[in-house]
Amino acid sequence: MVIASKEGHTLKQFDEELAELRKLVLEMGGLVEDQINQAVKALDDEDLDTAREVIARDHMVNGMDIKADEKSVRLLARRQPVGSDLRMIISLSKTVTDLERIGDEAEKIARMAVHLYDSDNPISNTRMLRDVFTMGKLASAMLHDSLDALARMDIEKAVKTAQGDEELDREFRSSLRRLITYMMEDPRTITHSIDILFIIKALERIGDHSKNIAEYVIYLVKGRDVRHASPDTLATDALKAD
C-alpha cells in the first residue's frame, strides 16, 4: 500500500510538471505571436517606439527558452518517460526551439523598421511594403493556428496549418519578383529593397517554423514523423488510421 501510494504521488507530480511545461510553451508562443504582430504594426504605423519595444522584449523570449529547456531536461532525467509522455516532452522541446527562432525573426523585422524610418534616407514609397503586410498576416495566422493545434491536440488543424506554408512561399516569391522590378526601374530603391527583402525573408522563415510546430503536433498525436512528407501526401500520412 505504501508503494502504491508513493507511485500515485510520483505520477501526479509528473503530470503536474508536464502540464507546467506545456503551459510555459504556450505562454512563450503567445509572447512570440505578439512580437510578430507588433513588429509588423510598427512598420505599418511608422512607429519607432513600438519597434524598439519589440527589440527590447526579445530577452523575455530568450529567458522563456532557457526556462523551458531546463524543465524539459529535468523531466527527461528524473522521470525517464516513455510512449506518449516522451513524445510530449520531445514535441514541446522542439517547439520551444522554433519559437525562439521566430522571436529572433520578429526582432529582425523590428530592427529593419527602425532602419527604414530612422535614417538619413527614410523610405518614402510605402507601396513597396504592401507585400510585407500580406505576408505578415499569413505568417501570424500560421503561428496562431499551429499553437492552437498544439493546445487542443487538433491534428486536422495541424495538417491544414502545415499545408498553409505553400501559400506563404508563393507570396514570398511574388514579393521578391516585385522588389527586383522596383530595383530595375529605379536604382535609388535598391537600399530600401534590400531591407524589405530581409523582412519578407524573415516572414517566410516564420512560416517554416510554424509549419514545424504543426508537424510536431502530428508526431505528438499520431507518433508519425511527417517532416519530410510532400505537401500532396502530408494529409494522407498524418490522418491515416493507426
Helices 83-117/190-222 angle, 10° precision? 170
Which pTM does this prediction carry?
A: 0.90
Residue 128: pLDDT band with limits 50, 70, 90: confident
Q: pLDDT tens-digit profile of 45-82?
A: 999 999 999 999 999 999 999 999 999 999 999 878 88
Percent of the chain clearing pLDDT 90 (strictly above): 73
Burial class (CB in 10 A: 0-12, 13-18, 19+), 191: middle
**pLDDT at position 14:** 86
| pLDDT of amino acid 2 | 39
* Inter-residue contact 218 to 224 (CB < 8 Å): yes
The CATH number of the domain where 51 resides is what? 1.20.58.220
The domain total for the chain is 1
Residue 7, domain extent: 2-239
Q: What is the pLDDT of residue 82?
A: 83
**What is the share, in percent, of the chain residues with pLDDT greater than 70?**
88
User: What is the residue-averaged pLDDT of the chain?
Assistant: 89
- Cell numbers standing for residue 233: 501526401
Q: Determine the pLDDT at residue 233.
A: 61
C-alpha 47: how far from chain center: 23
Distance of CA 225 to the CA centre of its chain: 19
Instruction: Pick the more confident residue, 105 or 80.
Output: 105
Separation between Cα atoms, residue 87 and residue 98, nearest integer Å: 17
- pLDDT band for position 159 (cuts 50, 70, 90): very high
Q: Which of 96, 115, 114, 106 is nearest to 58 (CA)?
A: 106
Mean pLDDT confidence for 144-162: 95
- For the stretch 214-240, pLDDT in tens is 999 999 988 876 766 666 666 666 666
| Rounded distance between C-alpha atoms, residue 98 and residue 165, angstroms | 15
- At residue 120, φ and ψ (nearest 5 deg) are -70, -20
- Is 139:36 a contact under the CB 8 Å cutoff? yes
238 contact partners, CB below 8 Å, separation of at least 6 = 155, 158, 159, 218, 222, 224, 226, 229
- Residue type at position 165: D
Rg (CA), the chain: 21
SS3 227: coil
pLDDT digits (tens, 9 = 90+) for 3-14: 444 555 567 888
Taking Cα atoms as reference points, which of 147, 190, 209 lies closest to residue 22? 147
pLDDT for res 237? 62
For 177-191, what is each residue's pLDDT tens digit? 999 999 999 998 898
